[in-house]
Amino acid sequence: MRLLPNLATVLTSGASTGVGDGLPVLKARADAGDASIVLAGGGLRPAYVPALLDYGIRAFHVGSAVRASWSDPVEWRLVRQWRSLIERD
């Protein structure tokens, strides 16, 4: 993917059923050198973050995980929880 012109980021779960099922695909993309352009999202759960970080993926689309609904504002406490998961290094 990283060789496609003008492509900066790809939002993907790796599978139509979500990140949990897409972990093998996300790992394969990371192993192919695409970790820096992957924005992991779509069914993202805190339990998946350690594996994604191990793959070298550092960008996460948390969307509905930080708000009750799309019409509600982002809940800063939930954002803080996600940041603490992601900033383990």
38-63 residue pLDDT tens: 999 999 999 999 999 999 999 999 98
Instruction: Supply 84's token pair.
Output: 């603490």
Please give the order of strands across the beta sheet that includes 59-61: 10-12, 38-41, 59-61
Average pLDDT score over the chain:
92
Residue 8 pLDDT: 86
For 12-31, b where at least 16 C-beta lie within 10 A, e where not — what string?
Answer: bbbbeebbeebbeebbebbe
Residue identified by tokens 């994604």 is 52
Give the pLDDT mean for 5-33.
93
Give the pLDDT mean for 16-33.
96
Q: Does the predicted TM-score (pTM) go above 0.95?
A: no
Give me Rg for the CA atoms of the chain.
13
